[in-house]
Amino acid sequence: MYEVFVNDHPIYLTNSVKKETNDKLFLLDTFDIEYVVNQLNKGEISSAFLYHPDQENLLKKFKKRVPVVVAGGGLVVNPKGEKLMIFRNGKWDIPKGKLDKGESIEDAAIREVEEETAVTGLVLDKFICKTYHIFKRNGAFKLKETYWYAMKSDFDGKLKPQKAEGIQKAEWQTDSEIEVSLKNSYPNIRVVINAYNKLFHKSVDRVL
């Protein structure tokens, strides 16, 4: 099963059928993305299930119905163990952005972190996870598939949030500070933080 977010609401791509309260089942081959998103945004349903029996091709079939934008992002850790967070459009986030033409995902992730925060000296560590969310651009719904990487940097200069991208603040935060920030963040960001903690064998109980 895959989880795709529309703001704070999940869409589940599944090959099994379950009876859920205030959820709705749609067929993956015939669903209308605009109708599903509107139902979620209006609160008519709390989540949606898109069903197809072929588990291995769930995501592939979904991508045929919703155009994909590939992005890269980085969760950066400094020598103090603090992580780099940004405050964008009223919520805490992690630097990320879409690929330029001909650019690798890894290069895009590093470039976006540099552009959005002015942090340099970035070193790629482990791949963390992929996340998915639906957004609307030029009147059409699209699926953003973001590849997240752990990164390290010894940068100790001044952070410069990229105002042109709606970023108001960039901060190094401790784990306890991130715990507070996640209360005003996106579901995908909580997914990344939890995946990072599992990857590096840290306790995730406090950030679920």
Of the pLDDT bands very low, low, confident and very high (cuts 50, 70, 90), residue 21 is: low
- Same structural domain, 77 and 33: no
Residue finishing a domain among 11, 41, 65 = 65
pLDDT band at 16; cut points 50, 70, 90: confident
pLDDT score of 114: 98
pTM, whole model, 2 decimals? 0.92
Range of the domain at 192: 70-207
Which residue among 20, 40, 65 closes a domain? Answer: 65
Mean pLDDT (the chain) is 93
One domain for residues 77 and 44: no
Max intra-chain CA distance, the chain: 53
For 172-192, how does the pLDDT look when each residue is reduced to its tens digit (9 = 90+)? 999 999 999 999 999 999 999
Q: Return d(Cα 92, Cα 82) in angstroms, integer.
A: 15
- Region of poorest pLDDT, from 45-54, 89-98, 184-193, 197-206: 197-206
49 shares a domain with 152: no
Same domain, 8 and 81: no
141 with 167, same domain: the answer is yes
The domain tally of the chain equals: 2
Do 39 and 110 reside in the same domain of the chain?
Answer: no
Q: Are residues 114 and 202 in the same domain?
A: yes
**pLDDT tens profile 100-154:** 999 999 999 999 999 999 999 999 999 999 999 999 999 999 999 999 999 999 9
CA distances from 93 to 13, 117, 192 (A): 25, 12, 10
Say if residue 61 is in the same domain as residue 74: no
Please count the CA atoms within 13 angstroms of the CA of 9 that sit on its side-chain side: 21
Query: Which class for 173: exposed (0-12), middle (13-18), buried (19 or more C-beta within 10 A)?
Result: middle
Domain at 169, CATH number: 3.90.79.10
Write the DSSP symbol of residue 181.
H
pLDDT tops 80 at residue 76: yes
155 and 179 inside one domain: yes
- Return the beta strands (E) in the chain as ranges: 2-6, 9-14, 23-27, 47-51, 68-77, 83-88, 91-93, 96-98, 123-137, 140-152, 167-173
